[in-house]
Structure 1
Amino acid sequence: MGTPKLMPFFILVIFHTMLSSGSGSNSDHIYPSGKGIRAAYFPSSNSFSPSSIDTQYFTHIYYAFLQPESTTYKLNVTEFDQARIPEFIKALRGKNPPVTTLLSMGGGGNNATVFALMVSTQATREVFINSTIQVARKYGFQGVDLDWEFPKDALEMSNLALLYKEWRKALDNEARVCGKPRLLLTSAVYYASKFTFYGGPRSYPAGAISKYLDWASPMCFDYHGSWENFTGMNAALDDSKSNISTRYGIGSWIEAGVPSKKLVMGLPLYGRTWTLKDSKVNGIGAPALGMGPGDGVLVYHQILHFNNRTNATVVYDTESASYYSYSGSSWVGYDGVRSAYMKVRFAKSLGLGGYFFWALGQDNEWAISKQASNAWKY
């Protein structure tokens, strides 16, 4: 995650019955009111103010993102973050209902090589882990989150498992020493448990994820984009022509052995755009020449503006539980209010721990966020 990027498939459990080891009680901020996880990422570079967040639709908010330094592997808290984080924490502490805040590391713009080097030895993992705890406690976060996009081979996946194990142990120990509730430990992951792009076949360490994380967050979006020469859905629930779908991805995680309640499903608040090769051929899979409006990406409120301004034709596709719209040679695939309802109900039907959005500031007057929250609660 991060600023949506034009790359294949890209862009990230829990319920009230789950228990977590470690000192202190986490129940209040892991399982608010027994309603599961309704989360969203707050991109720190966004002009959207944290004081504008309507917390009635969320239980957990992630601050995104900090990066490890390339030589020390300690978190680099920039001057910008030193000002932005206190603003974020202060704004959310005053909200009713309250939300749990997590500090996220990595994102779509991360340096994957730095993460690979960081996890490669016990010593460097320890430096990183201790830094995340120190920064999270200093600013008042209640959890830490890793969004490494993406480990490139089996060795890096194995080292990731060690990181999860050692991180959780450190969090448990720190909570015992300081007498505070343990910091949450979560991780955004690829939409499927196995993948092959940018390297050979590899799988996430499902056993370590199940044992050490509070939840994992499959990023169920960026299935298609203008890097392809045909139109496609950004976050298809189902796709009869391929395995690039949320149903397949979530199913792969459950099949790998991760409990459904430890999966928090990702939803996008943005869409992908193309320029059609022929404006008269405008369905899903239509030939395309490259990126469309917004340099290939429009967030939801921009999509509605595009639809109204251009008098676009809007189509809801039942199979993918997604929308697409087109006007002239411009084509957009995206999620709307109906999409959110269908996908959240899907998540709940499988007993998932909840869902999350990328990203705050992209909705239209909380329309999708509200529908998703209602679909989850009721």
Structure 2
Amino acid sequence: MKLLVPLSLLALALAVTAADNGLMVCYYGSWAVYRQGNGKFDVEAIDPAICTHLVFGFAGLGSDNKIKVLDPYNELCENWGKCAYNRFNALKEQNADLVTILAVGGWNEGSPKYSAMSSSSSTRKTFVDSSIEMLKAHKFDGLDMDWEYPTQRGGKPEDKVNFISLLSDLSTALHANNMILTAAVSAGKLTIDPAYDIPGMAKNLDIMNLMAYDLHGAWDPYTHHQSGLYQYPDDTGDNVYLNQDFAVNYWIDGGMPSTKIALGVPLYGRCWKLDYSTEENGYYAPASQPGPAGPYTRSPGFLGYNEICEFQKKESDWVVEIAPGMNEPYTYSYKHERIWCSYDDHDSCIKKASYAKSKNLAGMMVWSIETDDFHGICGRPFDLIKTLRETFSGGDIPTPPTPPTTPSTTTDPSAPTKPTTVPTTSPAPPPPDGVCQKPGINADPDNCHHYYLCSLNANDKYEATEEKCAEGTLFNPNADICDWANSVCAIGGICPNDCA
């Protein structure tokens, strides 16, 4: 037990790196590597200086209760792989203070697998041990538990207790290995109440990433802001809970220390098509369909901030307004399929970071880095992330320290050398075979309830793993993600057997 004390303190130091200036936790959606044009975002597009913590999304959970690589072709080096895990962690060579974390779970994974895994000490141990092994193998500094959500989406009532047991087991093992434990959690009261034992989470988490977004979206038949800082004056019923201020106070009042909370801000907008039956264009305007998909994210009802700002830059008919009593913009265009989007911009990021500072929070979090204006087409590159961090810290982003060079050790000059970097080119993969048209993610043209992950074995042959989309979602072959079913069906021309 004596050994655990200093190791836990070291883990805590990782959790609060640059704490005086606040945390800037940046999630990375690794499937952005498959996007087209200016939306394509690989690991090397990450600026390692602007975030204190980088979170790689996502790993998953296998049927054997072990942590699972979800895209071996992209994430691993073996068998033609692109080594994304190792390249991601190599960013620490440019910023010695950078903390890298692997997120497990996410929306696509759903809840039933995690509910089963967390239900016994033996299955939890299998998961914990496999997670530590994977983190060590790729030099991650911690694990982000992104179970969405205990007791919900196919979960069980006992998940609330079992989730704390899982976090306790993870915390003990991670701290013993000088790693940290974080978690992404809901901001919705109707999810928080059944899903989370807040004091139990406070005891075990080093950082809590509050997903204070997706509070509204095309699943609502009317427009609203998806990440409002405060309640809209006309809100009634459960909508009075759907704002960031309520969520922050609810978590703190429930027992979560403010200094463990990173306030999440979306780097994307939630979008609707305004109904033709009305000319209303403010909050609560009738809107029964998701907005059209963007050229990069290709998911109806969703536009990255980079897509929104590029549209506004190129097309003069986009109107930008802020509703009375609110702090965030919304934008609409009657020429662009009557689209209406709520989102965050430079000014609203200043207000949210200032709010977080006033509440004595740990810092800020974003989902996700690849939908900021990373090319700088609309202004400075990564303006939203930089604005959040600069506002919270009250100063410029410091120049990161680089790790000291280690002296080379004596080696046998006759021994063969191994490459230390990922080759810039690879031999072409084999031709399509069965369900595998290419390495990585492959759609099933006849069934959008699942997709296939295709990797190459040692014999250069494809191996396909079926991945099912969680309840209420369908696979969007345009965006290579499991998406809201109504958004997928709004695309048209895909999923004919599931969208009839």
Structure 2 length normalisation: TM-score?
A: 0.66
CA gap of 1:115–1:320, structure 2 versus 1, over 3 A, is: farther
CA contact under 8 A between 1:102 and 1:144: conserved in structure 2?
yes
CA contact under 8 A between 1:228 and 1:290: conserved in structure 2?
no
Counterpart check, 1:322 vs 2:307: no
Letter in 1 for 2:112: T
* Equivalences for residues 264-275 of structure 1 within 5 A: 264-275=262-273
Match of 2:187 in 1: 191
* Equivalences for residues 113-132 of structure 1 within 5 A: 113-132=112-131
Q: SS at the partner of 2:369?
A: coil
Match of 1:331 in 2: 340
> 4+ runs of 1 displaced by more than 4 Å?
20-24
- The one-character-per-residue Cα deviations of 1:86-122 (angstroms, maximum 9, x if unpaired) are 12112x1222364110011001111310000000111
Aligned residue among 215, 218, 238 for 2:210: 218
Q: SS at the partner of 2:371?
A: coil
Counterpart check, 1:229 vs 2:221: yes
- The one-character-per-residue Cα deviations of 1:125-162 (angstroms, maximum 9, x if unpaired) are 11001111110011100111100001125410110011
Aligned residue among 349, 353, 360 for 2:358: 349
How much has 1:76 moved relative to structure 2?
1.5
How much has 1:271 moved relative to structure 2?
0.3
Match of 2:484 in 1: none
Q: CA RMSD in A?
A: 1.8
Letter in 1 for 2:17: P
Match of 2:275 in 1: 277
Counterpart check, 1:362 vs 2:362: no
How much has 1:306 moved relative to structure 2?
2.2
How much has 1:318 moved relative to structure 2?
5.8
CA gap of 1:238–1:191, structure 2 versus 1, over 3 A, is: same
- The one-character-per-residue Cα deviations of 1:230-255 (angstroms, maximum 9, x if unpaired) are 00101011113111100001111001
CA contact under 8 A between 2:15 and 2:207: conserved in structure 1?
no
How much has 1:170 moved relative to structure 2?
2.0
Structure 1: any 5+ residue segments left out of the alignment? 1-19, 176-181
Counterpart check, 1:84 vs 2:84: yes
Match of 2:287 in 1: 288
How much has 1:60 moved relative to structure 2?
0.2
Distance in 2 between residues matched to 1:64 and 1:224, nearest whole Å: 23
Match of 2:312 in 1: 307
CA gap of 1:140–1:315, structure 2 versus 1, over 3 A, is: same
| Count of aligned residue pairs for this structure pair | 346
* Equivalences for residues 227-266 of structure 1 within 5 A: 227-239=219-231, 240=233, 241=235, 242-266=240-264
Q: SS at the partner of 2:125?
A: helix
How much has 1:361 moved relative to structure 2?
1.1
How much has 1:79 moved relative to structure 2?
2.2
* Equivalences for residues 18-57 of structure 1 within 5 A: 22-23=7-8, 25-26=10-11, 28-33=13-18, 34-47=20-33, 48-57=41-50
How much has 1:272 moved relative to structure 2?
0.8
Counterpart check, 1:171 vs 2:174: yes
Letter in 1 for 2:190: F
Match of 2:390 in 1: 374
CA gap of 1:98–1:171, structure 2 versus 1, over 3 A, is: closer
CA contact under 8 A between 1:40 and 1:360: conserved in structure 2?
yes
Q: SS at the partner of 2:184?
A: strand
Task: With a CA cutoff of 8 Å and minimum separation of 6, indicate the structure with the bigger relative contact order.
Answer: 1
Distance in 1 between residues matched to 2:169 and 2:7, nearest whole Å: 13
Distance in 2 between residues matched to 1:54 and 1:148, nearest whole Å: 27
- The one-character-per-residue Cα deviations of 1:36-87 (angstroms, maximum 9, x if unpaired) are 21011111221212222223321000011000102x1111125222122112
Match of 1:150 in 2: 149
Structure 1 length normalisation: TM-score?
A: 0.87
Distance in 2 between residues matched to 1:36 and 1:66, nearest whole Å: 27
How much has 1:218 moved relative to structure 2?
1.4
